[in-house]
Amino acid sequence: MRRETLAFVLLLTVNTQAARPFRGGAVATAHPRATEAALAMLNRGGGATDAAVAAALVLGVAAPYHSGLGGGGFALVHEARSGITEVIDFREVAPKAATRDMYLREGKVAPGLSTDGALSVAVPGAARGYLELLGRKGRLKPAVVMAPAIQAARKGFWVTPKYRTIAQNRLDCLRADPEASRLFLRPGAQGVMEAPAVGELITQPELARTLEELSRRGPSAFYEGRVASAIESTVKEGGGILTSEDLASYRVRWRQPLEGSYRGHRVATMPPPSAGGLAVVQVLGVLERAGARGPSSREPAVLHTYVEAVRRAYVDRARYLGDPAFVEIPLPKLHSAEHISQMLASIDPSRATPSQKLLPAPLAADAGYTPWTDVLPGAKAERKNTTHVSVIDREGNAVALTTTVNYWFGSCLVARGTGVLLNDEMDDFAAAPMTPNTYGLVTGEANAIAPGKIPLSSMSPTLVFRKDDPKKAMLALGSPGGSTIPTTVIQVISNVLDGQMDVVRAVGAGRIHHQYLPDAILVDKFGLEPATLRALEALGHAVTRTDGWGDAEAVLIDPATGLATAGSDPRNEGFASGQD
């Protein structure tokens, strides 16, 4: 039997029920095809990195509204043999011609300029990131790892209910670009382009060619020559500023993880230019000092502490965080035991602290800023853009990889003839300091736009290690959801370590979120009992209920048995499985 066929048969013979324990590796992603690709790599002798990259590439094809070669991301990579954990930052950077005020018109942020079309595009990092990951940490050849994505692009994937909903939400933006329309929409009545029906096949032959060239020739197939020229001319035609010189000079960054601990477990997460990792470490630190119960307990007093800790973490974010190559971030202080103890000490157990008291922002009074009303329609109910892959292989190597084109379908611009959908990551900068972006999030001066600068991110790929052996990964996790990512990660960790939930329950449990501004708790529809909600309101919290957000993807190793389980957020269309 051919090896490919054998791998496929093996895939079909494993039980795919997520809660089932596996003796080998396990994978959780936002799309069944991506999880299957990752398992195929593990079954071919690849490790966690090969599996994670194969999955990420397939996600970029089959869920193009979240991620793809035109985007960027972060990954934590843990090597079981050496016990070393490293971070790769393949986030987009601002083009060289970017300027601080590029999204202002007559002194005000012009709606849509940083989210739709050519001016919103930052220099993509995913192609270089994936190849660098494979080169440094992979075992299989790029052609093998990229084969499932090439095949998915060539043969196509069918439109799911989620795809259709998202395409409907981004209809105007997609219609504005003929190439994006042709690829991701379908002619409706009178030939007007519409969101395709569920079940329609989307093929991307141009993207298959780009991926195939990348697998053969390496990063130069994307950052130079045909693809780079197409990106430059498409962006230029649309009035954007990204050039082929920006592309040719793009490099990834390897970093040390940000370290924290919770209930005696080492936690490794994403340092700046993510603001998410710091929030994860700070809030877990406050919760640990506050007592033995975590937010998974749903006790109003604990939830109050949790919300107040999150509020303070996001104030630090707004005040200090940006690209560490451009701004002096007092990082050691911000995650020191002293600072975390001060955060706890500043919480009034009997009253919510108004956010404006912690860091006054001009917007609340004069910019028509309404709690949880986002700039773009549809964003309010669905903070799910971006995507995450978690893998732990049978040797204990672990990868947590979060990747994005930012908002749904990124900029909605496809580089002509390449199939590459370009990001709108420029929206993660502060277009004007302390003015909300598409996530309603405010960031400060430290996140102002500058050429070559990385926009601040919330992406928080995270690894939690065994209590008895801090070099052995026990939990790999992450989620999409823009500004809600860190609180999703914190709650899944609490669900596992405090709540003793299995991984499927841990990713599925209701969630609550705060982010300093808007000054309101966001509760998903399964988040809280009415009595708990009222108890929080009695403490002075404003509470807004909404549909679920995020898409947590996690793999958990049981320290007692060494068996792996994987959970894909039941709010979405993902899939978790493993190998025996």
Instruction: Classify 130 as helix, strand or coil.
Output: helix
Nearer to ligand GLY, 75 or 159 (CB): 75
CA distance 407 to 385: 6
Going by C-beta distance under 8 Å and a sequence separation of 6 or more, which residues neighbour residue 219?
127, 128, 131, 132
DSSP string, 487-505: HHHHHHHHHHHTT---HHH
Nearer to ligand GLY, 212 or 428 (CB): 428
Q: What angle do the packed helices 142-155 and 205-217 form, to 10 degrees?
A: 170
488 is known as an active-site residue:
no
Least Å distance, CB 482 to ligand GLY, is 5
Going by C-beta distance under 8 Å and a sequence separation of 6 or more, which residues neighbour residue 178?
none
Work out the end-to-end distance of the chain between its first and last CA atoms, rounded to an integer number of angstroms: 20
Nearer to ligand GLY, 281 or 459 (CB): 459
Q: Are 133 and 104 in contact (CB under 8 A)?
A: no
Least Å distance, CB 401 to ligand GLY, is 13
CA distance 458 to 429: 12
Instruction: Classify 315 as helix, strand or coil.
Output: helix
Q: What's the token pair of residue 131? A: 């190849």
Least Å distance, CB 381 to ligand GLY, is 17
Nearer to ligand GLY, 243 or 274 (CB): 274
Least Å distance, CB 406 to ligand GLY, is 4
CA distance 86 to 169: 37
Least Å distance, CB 331 to ligand GLY, is 18
Q: Are 521 and 544 in contact (CB under 8 A)?
A: yes
Nearer to ligand GLY, 270 or 473 (CB): 270
Interface residues with ligand GLY (CB under 6 A) are 386, 404, 406, 428, 457-459, 482
CA distance 436 to 446: 15
Question: Residue for token digits 């398992």?
Answer: 39
For residue 475, the Cα-to-chain-centroid distance in whole angstroms is 17
CA distance 105 to 111: 10
Q: Which of 85, 386, 404, 418 is catalytic?
A: 386
In single-letter form, the type of residue at position 498 comes to D
Query: Rounded to 5, what percent of the chain is helix, strand, coil?
Result: 40, 15, 45
CA-based R_g, the chain, Å = 22
Q: Are 279 and 331 in contact (CB under 8 A)?
A: no
DSSP string, 454-493: PPPB----EEEE-SS-TTSEEEEEE---GGGHHHHHHHHH
Q: What's the token pair of residue 353? A: 């602290």
Residue closest to ligand GLY, measured at CB: 457
Nearer to ligand GLY, 240 or 482 (CB): 482
Residues with a catalytic annotation lie at 386
